[in-house]
Homo-oligomer: A and B are copies of this chain.
Amino acid sequence: MTETELIEKLTRNIPRKKGPLQIGIGDDCSVIRAGNKDILISCDSLVQNIHFKKSWGSWNIWGAKAAAAALSDIAAMGGKPCYAWINLALPAHFKTTDIQKFYKGLLGVFKKFDVTLAGGNITRAPEDFAATTTVWGEVKKGKAMLRSQAKPGDAVYVGGALGKRGQWQPQIKLGEWLVSKGCKAAIDVSDGLLKDLEHMAQASLVKIVIEADKVPHVGKLKEALTYGEDYILAFTMATSVGQARGQGPKIFKIGKVVKGKPGVQVVNSKGQLLSFQKKGFEHKVG
């Protein structure tokens, strides 16, 4: 069973909307109405020997990654991140200097985006380091971009080249710009472009057609389409808006939203269907 299927099974009877809760389980963030703004909350875990191995790099990097992954969820909804909480589980042999490095990486990213660490805690772990980051962002009332708002006729864009693994730059400014332009549907590429667009297609009940040659990428195309953790935004909007962006951030048109059986298709420049076996990263659980 995949993570998505398991969560669906476990949470079937829980309301997705209730009172001030505008969006519950199922999007990048929850959305809670508070006066004239909506508060975005997201929680993200980073587990040693699952998401990374110690030998891959310094603890600074994993701190930066934990922060970037959490902030990217806020970017995907078009919000401004404000506060964060970090819960660490540390094995007994963990060095204080390594925790300090992790915090340095984490706080470096938070500082860049003016996010204040507002709490959290530290507990022991039996074997492996784990970090769960909770983040609070804000967006104008009713303006959060959602997975479920892709409309037939819209074009599909990405906010940068895919496949640049290890360069985690949450696209906060792009998200805010998109909201200012009236963009309604976005997601961050965390599981892999095709997998994440699949989430969007299913949530919006639309077909998304990607033209492979138009996808900006580094390295092999297949990997760029299917590997996750890019933290680039993928979004849909009318072509006219995308083209009239003038001095706005650099964005790349890669496909279109059409009516049809919900899902993602990849075509070549002749319109021929391409097939990709591995549609991105998803934990098998349960």
Contacts and interface: CB of A to CB of B under 8 A. Distances in A.
How many copies of this chain are found per oligomer?
2
Interface stretch (A96-104, A228-236, A251-259): A96-104
Given A24-B119, A41-B118, A49-B126, A6 B99 contact: yes
B127 A14 contact: no
Nearest to A116: B18
- Kindly state the interface size class of chain A when it binds its partner: 35 or more
Given A24-B116, A32-B83, A47-B89, A122 B41 contact: no
Nearest to A34: B34
Given A14-B107, A89-B130, 13 more contacts: A6-B122, A9-B100, A25-B120, A29-B119, A41-B119, A41-B134, A44-B87, A45-B87, A50-B89, A90-B285, A96-B286, A127-B127, A132-B132
30 contacts: A6-B96, A10-B103, A21-B83, A21-B118, A24-B119, A25-B117, A27-B119, A29-B119, A30-B85, A30-B118, A34-B34, A34-B35, A39-B39, A41-B118, A43-B87, A43-B132, A43-B134, A44-B121, A48-B126, A50-B126, A51-B123, A89-B130, A94-B286, A96-B286, A99-B286, A123-B283, A126-B127, A126-B128, A132-B132, A134-B134
